[in-house]
Amino acid sequence: MKFALLSNVNIESVARRVGRHQPYLAQGYGAWTQELADPASAMWSFGPSAVFLIVDGAELLRGQQGLDSALGEIEGHLAWIDGASERSPGIKFFVSTVDVPAQAPRALKHGHLERRLEQHWQAGIFRVSANRANVYVFDLKALVEDVGRAQFYSNKRWYLGGLRFSLTGEKLIAKELERILYAQIVARKKCLLLDLDNTLWGGIIGEDGLEGIQLSESGEGARYKDFQRCIRRLGEMGVILGIVSKNNQGDVFEVFENHEHMVLKKEDFAILKIDWSPKAQSIAEVAQDLDIGLDSLVFIDDNPVERESVHSALPEVTVPEFPADTCELSAFLEQIYKDCFFTLESTEEDRKRTEAYLSNAKRAAERSATVSIDEFLAALRTKISLGKLRDDDVPRAAQLTQKTNQFNLTTRRYTEQQVQAFRTTPGMAVFIASVADKYGDNGKVFLGIVRKLSADTAELDTFLMSCRVMGRFIEDQILDQLVKELRADGISKLRVHLIPSKKNAPARGFIERLSGGRLLSNDASGTMTWEFDIAQTSPVSRSPYAELLTR
């Protein structure tokens, strides 16, 4: 792409930092206005499709005596820019804001000259930009403000070679130039997919409930509300928004309907994938439903395992690192905007795009994409450490029964005393497991309580697992191991209970995966009991993938 870079200071060092395409350069005092004003100048015959004007504030006002003369100088420049952009409507002009550092010591009473001149210039170019569709503002002043003048300028470079900007300053200008250039030749991403728990709000809705999640106008929960505001703004600019979350739909819809601080509404999303299927699969479906490429999707999730799963199964999808400090969520989204969704202007058409995609998605037939979840799981290097409950595990075991809602077959709450009693009751066994993977140790996340009912029959009193490691078939492998141990103990029949609750749909999904069960009872309260013959076979059909250590 051909572009011209004009400046009132030496800009060649910046130009060297911009990509492969060398621009037409005009630099130095007077040179740039001459190029603009003279229709026969070499710049026009170069044939740029974009012209950048990088205006150094100190240089712009050098030698000006007094306010009126400086304001006149500014008006003159603005008139050249306006005239040039009017003559060449097919060329895009990017005109910088200016930063004017104080030029000399001045008494406080007379100290505001630079500010007034700055404001006059900024107001002038915004006026030109508003009047001319082909004129845009290049916000140089914002770049200075982000790092501060001490970082942005370099006196040594200025005195040595007339280079106004420091290395930092040059790199920032070059990056902004590239972003604007690429925005004109590279298609931006189309769709932003978001996780919910610990992403749009703090905490886990399935565990913490409507009152327990962090989301508020002020205080700690405000970081999520501010994040939602930024996301809504992206939606207004034509970015399609979607949710990909492992959750119960009912819990999520309750937040949408009843949480007063939800900025984002259900209608803001063209896509709602709220279920327990692997996220890579859901995302592949999103691309099909919306009929867009996987490379148009950006996926935000706080959980590194989920990010890795999507990245490894669908490498075309952009999966940014999530900020370690959630106070930086808004800055994080600003960066995603710049990297993925940056646009010179958002049109009415853009804004309507979400609506159009929404109806597309509704029409799309139910299709399911097959994605290799197995490869992803193998790459996690999961280690399960399973053993009988020890004395010092008792507090954690009780806590797991108290707090676990989603993957919990019976949701029976026990105190430490009760758990301690189970450990020592003949015919009962309590198992606990910790899970580690290449991202670290998740700690003790599984609890199982087995009760012997007769010489050959046992039941699962409790079978639960923290949501931290859900969706990775860890429960399958643990049950398979428990079955082996029970069989070695002479047990041939295993009874499994499901007490349905508002939250434990994932537990139901697990039972539906098991094979060979015979429904024994289905009582009025909703409790269901299956019996599995484990003498020869295991109810678990998934082959194990994690390393399992028993103690």
CB of 161 to another protein, least distance (A): 5
Minimum CB separation from another protein for residue 28, in Å?
14
Instruction: Give the nearest distance from C-beta 34 to another protein in angstroms.
Output: 23
Q: Residue 163 CB, nearest distance to another protein (Å)?
A: 6
Q: Are residues 26 and 46 in contact, defined by beta-carbon separation less than 8 angstroms?
A: no
Considering beta carbons, is residue 13 or 330 the nearer one to another protein? 13
Q: Which residue has 């990775």 as its token pair?
A: 472
Tokens representing 298 are: 């950006």
Cβ proximity to another protein: between 154 and 538 the closer is 154
CB 500 within 8 A of CB 410: no
Location of structure tokens 């479906």: 285
Place of tokens 């000399």: 104
C-beta of 165 vs 376, nearer to another protein: 165
By residue count, the chain amounts to 551
Q: Are 462 and 418 in contact (CB under 8 A)?
A: no
Distance in Å, CB of 157 to another protein, minimum:
5
For another protein, the closer CB: 161 or 443 = 161
Q: How far is the CB of 25 from another protein (least distance, A)?
A: 12
Q: Give 16 or 338: the residue with its C-beta nearer to another protein.
A: 16
**Residue 356 has which token pair?**
């159009």
Residue whose CB is less far from another protein, 159 or 363: 159
How far is residue 81's CA from residue 136's CA, in Å, rounded to a whole number?
11
CB of 182 to another protein, least distance (A): 20
**Packing angle of the helix pair 394-403, 416-424 (nearest 10 deg):** 120
Q: For residues 434 and 444, what is the distance between their CA atoms, to the nearest angstrom?
A: 4
Q: 491 near 427, Cβ under 8 Å?
A: no
- Quick one: 143 or 255, whose CB is closer to another protein? 143
Q: Per the structure block, which two tokens stand in for 129?
A: 């930009």
Cα dihedral across residues 179, 183, 187, 190: positive or negative: positive
Computed on alpha carbons and rounded to an integer, the radius of gyration of the chain in Å comes to 32
Q: Which is nearer to another protein, 57 or 169 (CB)?
A: 169
Tell me whether residue 25 or residue 234 sits nearer to another protein (CB atom).
25
Distance of closest approach, residue 170 Cβ to another protein, in angstroms = 9
Closest separation between CB of residue 59 and another protein, Å?
A: 18
Give min distance, CB of 283 to another protein, in A: 38
Task: Give me 540's structure tokens.
Answer: 């678990």
Q: Which long-range contacts (CB under 8 A, 24 or more apart) does 542-545 make?
A: 542/473, 542/476, 542/477, 542/513, 544/476, 544/477, 544/480, 545/374, 545/377, 545/378, 545/382, 545/473, 545/477
* One-letter amino acid for residue 208 of the chain: D
Least gap, CB of 180 to another protein (angstroms)? 22
DSSP state of 429: E
The Cα 187–Cα 184 span in angstroms is: 8
CB half-sphere exposure, 222, CA atoms < 13 A: 4
Catalog residues that contact another protein under the rule CB under 8 A. Answer: 12-13, 16, 154, 156-157, 159-161, 163, 166-167
Helices (H), 237-347: 249-258, 279-290, 304-313, 329-336
Q: Closer to another protein at the Cβ: 75 or 178?
A: 178
Q: Which of 533, 434, 443 is nearest to 493 (CA)?
A: 533
**Shortest distance, position 167 Cβ to another protein, whole Å:** 5
Q: Which residue is listed with tokens 């792409």?
A: 1
**In terms of CB distance, is 159 or 524 closer to another protein?**
159
In the complex with another protein, the residue whose CB is nearer, 129 or 154, is: 154
Task: List % helix, strand, coil for the chain (3-state, nearest 5).
Answer: 45, 20, 35
Q: Nearer Cβ to another protein, position 44 or 165?
A: 165
Shortest Å, Cβ 18 to another protein: 12
| Residue 325 burial (10 A CB sphere; 0-12, 13-18, 19+) | exposed
Tokens of 522: 């289905």
* Cβ proximity of 529 and 521 under 8 Å: yes
